[in-house]
Structure 1
């Protein structure tokens, strides 16, 4: 790759203003060798940070940058140090070419501002934005990942992405991290993303509870009752999942919790209508193509047991303990 420092420097000078502060991260195969520097864009050349990155990259390090700018004087790359939501992004680490085509064909999102090719068939996509609060940015990142099949772990505001111009040392031989600019200077607003995003009126509190309390019911019991009511009202399952992911960020794995709760609740409602377990399995597989047949069968069996139990001994149930 020719002139990696020039490619990286040009990109960073376009993405950040001279007064912006951001993080540069080096990751080696040995985690103890990980290094991070908080830098000001205007000081990149003066302090020869790019030369340092090139040297480390040549000796096996992978090079990353923080997408969002940090507070001036920040010492760490934390959520509290983020100045603003500079971008929405997607990490396409599987079947990237097909997913990229779906994004380009979609009427619900604008054309990407930046496409970073991290290796063959794998991409990191960025849309330059303004007008998103941090909580709104993270909720939309989750929505984009669910909608287009991105890495659902890559949805936090303090995320780092690979820096164009250097080599991806994850592979042998190493792959150049290349850049395509589709419109880096175009700035999009929330109105340009026509995807159903969860309500975030209470999200900033960190302890969101949007369900009406049910006596001494636990939060999980409230979740179950709320999901059942949403499904019964005809709200699409994918929308309920997205809302529950954002609203239960206290869970160790909000995505798994939301998908599992909605899948089991759907299966319970179908079982109550007399739909056979075999048909429930097919409906689950059709709705969620990443769900294996064995997992769908296990969910259908859980729903069947739950319906039988509540019909006999617990007619006023609140939750399926699954």
Structure 2
């Protein structure tokens, strides 16, 4: 758990950064903020303290952007630079995330956090954004993909993966995936003005017409489902799809994700229970991913596939 959180902080902030950590309990309602250097936050004793607080009911958050050195607060004036763009997806999360993954209007996310079943926080590591440009782009992202329109401030916080989301019972382990290691510029985001966007529908995976250039991802999905339904090996299909989609920033990640969701869907259609699907997903990637990530990822993918089938039944 601590190693997942440590890795996320190292990926998210440059050495020497000042960051803001937030602890919030639901009952009794209490918020505690700490402004520390990245090095302080990465210390085993400090991470252990965060884990202790999380175990005793505190949710753990971090500001999306670094603070100015010497800051004591997390106000907009204290933000040093724009490090990330982000998107909060709280409703119909699986369909909206699928639309985002398939869109040609935005680059591959740097990180995708599964904060609770069907809810996600998406991050892009960026450079070249000023505060005004960031806020405009955050509004366009929320409008295009049905994200929370209130989450457009440069000093916004997000959950730290590796810890538990204590808002729910039972608590949900916050998982993370890293689809891309790239750093993006404003030119990589090709979203039209938010006033011309209609929010994505609650059902289906429709995308704004102005963004739709091709249907490669949809064809890949149909191909994967067809091949798996006819008994083809998931490992071989993964390598074949990765070789076909070298246009993706991370072809192997894309292929693994597509094949694994399609595999889980197929197993559910064949009548496998949830626990068996999770076990089979873990087995499929156990030699390619760290154990903790592999387990959390398997649960998230199984939940995604199950909800996809449920939507088809009741749509």
Q: TM-score band (shorter)? A: 0.5 to 0.7
Q: Which has the higher contact order (CA 8 A, sep 6+)?
A: 2
Tell me if 1:154 matches 2:151.
yes
Q: Which residue of 2 aligns with 1:223?
A: none
Q: Which runs of 5+ in 1 are unaligned?
A: 199-237, 243-285, 291-322
Count of paired positions: 202
How far the C-alpha of 1:13 sits from its partner, in A, is 1.2
C-alpha distance after superposition, 1:57-105 (max 9, x if no partner): 1011111001100001100001001111111110001111100110111
Tell me if 1:132 matches 2:135.
no
Tell me if 1:190 matches 2:186.
yes
SS in 2 for 1:19: coil
Tell me if 1:166 matches 2:133.
no
TM-score (norm 2): 0.61
SS in 1 for 2:73: coil
Larger Rg: 1
Q: Which residue of 2 aligns with 1:96?
A: 93
- Structure 2 counterpart of 1:55, from 47, 52, 55: 52
How far the C-alpha of 1:45 sits from its partner, in A, is 3.8
CA RMSD of aligned residues (A): 2.0
Task: Tell me the distance in 2 between the aligned counterparts of 1:101 and 1:288.
Answer: 11
Classify 1:197/1:60 alpha carbon distance in 2 versus 1 (closer, same or farther; 3 Å): same
Instruction: After TM superposition, list the pairs within 5 Å mapping 1:277-296 onto structure 2.
Output: none
Tell me if 1:79 matches 2:76.
yes
C-alpha distance after superposition, 1:160-197 (max 9, x if no partner): 000000000111100000010111x3000000000124
TM-score (norm 1): 0.60
Task: Tell me the distance in 2 between the aligned counterparts of 1:33 and 1:69.
Answer: 23
How far the C-alpha of 1:32 sits from its partner, in A, is 5.3
**2:96 touches 2:200 (CA, 8 Å); kept in 1?**
no
Instruction: After TM superposition, list the pairs within 5 Å mapping 1:204-283 onto structure 2.
Output: 238-239=195-196
Q: Which runs of 5+ in 2 are unaligned?
A: 203-315
